[in-house]
């Protein structure tokens, strides 16, 4: 399958092909230079909302509420969850993903990205947001 076919499938909201496209772009960010216009022409009306805070502040609850509200308006939602790696265990905190997805119906795509402690915002998350 060539990249234009992959783009077409991903932009038709097929979650499997969307995940494949994001993985391809994360591994080969230079492809954005060549194919970025094809993506932005179809997805340029997206809104980006950032949510940050300490553990237990209610980020997942807020996100789930926002998503329910936006889905009630018929909007499609993409969530990029950027989880910092623990400086102690080296692992990522991804449990909120399950909580958010349980509370929301179809029409959302969720992608979790881990970030090493030294990386404030991982480059692969920036690729995904676009």
**Segment 13-65, tens digit of pLDDT:** 888 988 888 888 878 878 878 887 877 777 667 788 888 887 778 888 888 88
- Residue 92's pLDDT is 47
* Tens-digit pLDDT profile for residues 73-103: 888 888 877 766 655 545 445 556 666 666 6
- Residue 106's pLDDT is 75
What are the CA-CA distances from residue 75 to residues 35, 53, 83, 99, 123 (Å)?
A: 25, 25, 25, 20, 26
- Residue 86's pLDDT is 55
Provide CB contacts within 8 A for 96, sequence distance 6+.
59, 60, 81
> Is the pLDDT score of 124 beyond 60?
no
Q: Is beta strand 108-115 parallel, antiparallel or unpaired with respect to 77-84? A: parallel
- Residue 82's pLDDT is 73
Backbone torsions φ then ψ of 2, nearest 5 degrees: -85, 170
> Is the pLDDT score of 70 beyond 60?
yes
pTM score of the predicted model: 0.69
């Amino acid at each position: 399958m060539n990249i234009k076919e992959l783009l077409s499938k991903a932009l038709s909201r097929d979650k499997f092909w969307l995940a494949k496209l994001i993985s391809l772009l994360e591994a080969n960010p230079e492809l954005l230079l060549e194919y970025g216009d094809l993506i932005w022409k179809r997805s340029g009306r997206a809104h980006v909302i950032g949510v940050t805070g300490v553990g237990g502040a209610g980020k997942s609850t807020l996100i789930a509420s926002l998503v329910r509200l936006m889905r009630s308006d018929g909007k499609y939602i993409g969530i990029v969850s950027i989880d910092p790696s623990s400086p102690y265990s080296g692992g990522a905190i991804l449990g909120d993903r399950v909580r958010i997805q349980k509370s929301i119906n179809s029409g959302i795509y969720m992608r979790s990205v881990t970030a090493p402690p030294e990386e404030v915002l991982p480059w692969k998350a920036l690729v995904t947001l676009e």
